[in-house]
Chains A and B, each alone.
Chain A
Amino acid sequence: MTTTYTKGHESVLARTCVVIPMYNEAAVISDVVRAVRERFGRVVCVDDGSSDESPVLARAAGATVVRHPVNLGQGAALETGVRRALQDPSIEYVVTFDADGQHSVEDAASMVAVARDLGVQVVLGSRFLGDMEGASGHRRTLLKMAVRFTRATTGMKVTDAHNGLRVLRRDAAERLRFRLHGMSHASEVLSVISKHQWSYVEHPTTVTYTEYSRAKGQRGYNAFNIVFDLAANRLRAAS
């Protein structure tokens, strides 16, 4: 699927808010915010209790900053950012974007264009439809296993279970609530989409794994913690 991105989409991007959860990202956050600001109308950075200069830098680069008083986890930060974004009634789409610079702003813009053109509620970025620059074989295998697990548990035919780049239309974003506050939210998003039967498409994205993003990224074994979280959440939800 290639995107036909046109000038007419500029006005939609102006009414799109990009949410970036961050935790000690001072080294990269200025560049990321600036790059996003070039295309999108609003940027909300949720500072999840950083001890460095991240919030000051993000604000200087043109983002609205919401600061968690204590570290609450990435899922919680995303939900805070989404709520903040929706406080502005003119916002039509919310994009979730990683702070470490692994996502491409162009991909995000194309995804919003796709969301509008196809009229879907959710657009999910997929590394497997696109490219994974600099990813190790080990990481690819792990992510593919995560995809199989997600397909089996949610019944969704997705190709990437843990991509942080997503577009949510306002009606979907308004109903997004996480019960898992940590790193398991990526799978939880998919369960929520599946439960509410939101319309979604996947869009190829290029993820650039740099030295920085690899160092900041999750450990592979955290996948098992995520499986535990999801299983417990599912069993509880079923009761």
Chain B
Amino acid sequence: MIIKLLLLVGLTGAGYLLLRGRGTALGLLLRRSMAFGAIVLGAVAVLFPGLVTEAANAVGVGRGTDLVVYVLCVTFLFVTIAQNTRMTQLRDRMVELARRQALLEAELHDRKPQQVL
């Protein structure tokens, strides 16, 4: 069954993204291409619903709906992981930013305590 292979590859990709995902230019290009591709494929699927079922049959899935659900699951995983990575990066930056601000404030306080408090 081709679908099993495709899904396992997708899940492995998600695992790779979780461990080594960093905001690279290639990653950005991939994400944009996939988003664009999803819009085009979505439009095709809306106009020609039969094509989805044909595609499903071609990879060994019974119904087009099932194929859509599988793809949705894997996509959801990718999106969640990418968001998580991004949140972590933002948090690291926020921590450093807040720390610098706190240290600066403390220094200022030490120099002229009467003016700051």
Interface residues of A (CB under 8 A from B): 46, 64-70, 72-73, 76, 79-80, 83-84, 87, 179, 181, 232, 235-236, 239
Interface pair A235/B19, CB less than 8 Å apart:
yes
Interface pair B106/A67, CB less than 8 Å apart:
yes
Q: For residue B92, which residues in chain A have a CB less than 8 angstroms away from its CB? A: 179
Interface pair A67/B105, CB less than 8 Å apart:
yes
Residue from B91, B102, B109, B110 within 8 A of A69 (CB atoms): B102
Interface pair A68/B106, CB less than 8 Å apart:
no
Known A66-B105, A235-B19, A239-B19; 5 more pairs at CB < 8 Å? A64-B110, A69-B101, A80-B102, A80-B103, A232-B19
User: Contacts A72-B98, A79-B99, A83-B99: A236 and B106 contacting too (C-beta < 8 A)?
Assistant: no
User: Contacts A235-B19, A236-B20: A181 and B102 contacting too (C-beta < 8 A)?
Assistant: no
Q: Max chain A CB contacts within 10 Å: which of B20, B99, B103, B109?
A: B99
A61 to B102, CA, bound (A): 20
Residue from A65, A72, A76, A232 within 8 A of B106 (CB atoms): A65
Q: Determine how close the nearest CB of chain B comes to the CB of A211; give it in whole angstroms.
A: 31
Q: Does more than half of chain A's interface fall in helix, strand or loop, or is it mixed?
A: mixed
Query: How many residues on B have C-beta within 8 angstroms of the other chain's C-beta atoms?
Result: 16
Q: Is B5 in contact with chain A by the CB < 8 A criterion?
A: no
A181 to B93, CA, bound (A): 12
A193 to B32, CA, bound (A): 42
Residue from A69, A179, A239 within 8 A of B98 (CB atoms): A69
Q: Is B95 in contact with chain A by the CB < 8 A criterion?
A: yes
A72 to B96, CA, bound (A): 10
User: Contacts A235-B19, A236-B20, A239-B20: A66 and B103 contacting too (C-beta < 8 A)?
Assistant: yes
Q: For residue B94, which residues in chain A have a CB less than 8 angstroms away from its CB? A: 72
Residue from A65, A67, A68, A181 within 8 A of B91 (CB atoms): A181
Residue from A66, A179, A236, A239 within 8 A of B102 (CB atoms): A66
Counting from the closest, the 8 A-B pairs by CB-CB distance are A66-B106, A239-B20, A80-B99, A235-B19, A76-B95, A66-B102, A68-B102, A72-B95
A239 to B109, CA, bound (A): 42
Q: Nearest chain-A residue to B91 (Cβ)?
A: A181
Q: Which of B59-116 contact A (CB under 8 A)?
A: 91-92, 94-95, 98-99, 101-103, 105-107, 109-110
Q: Determine how close the nearest CB of chain A comes to the CB of B17; give it in whole angstroms.
A: 11
Q: For residue A66, which residues in chain B have a CB less than 8 angstroms away from its CB? A: 102-103, 105-106
Instruction: List 13 A–B pairs whose Cβ atoms lie within 8 Å, in order of A's numbering.
Output: A64-B106, A64-B110, A65-B106, A66-B102, A67-B102, A67-B106, A68-B98, A72-B98, A79-B99, A80-B102, A83-B99, A84-B106, A181-B95
Q: Determine how close the nearest CB of chain A comes to the CB of B113; give it in whole angstroms.
A: 10
Residue from B19, B95, B98, B109 within 8 A of A236 (CB atoms): B19
Q: Determine how close the nearest CB of chain A comes to the CB of B26; give it in whole angstroms.
A: 16
A66 to B101, CA, bound (A): 10
A38 to B19, CA, bound (A): 48
Q: Nearest chain-B residue to A76 (Cβ)?
A: B95
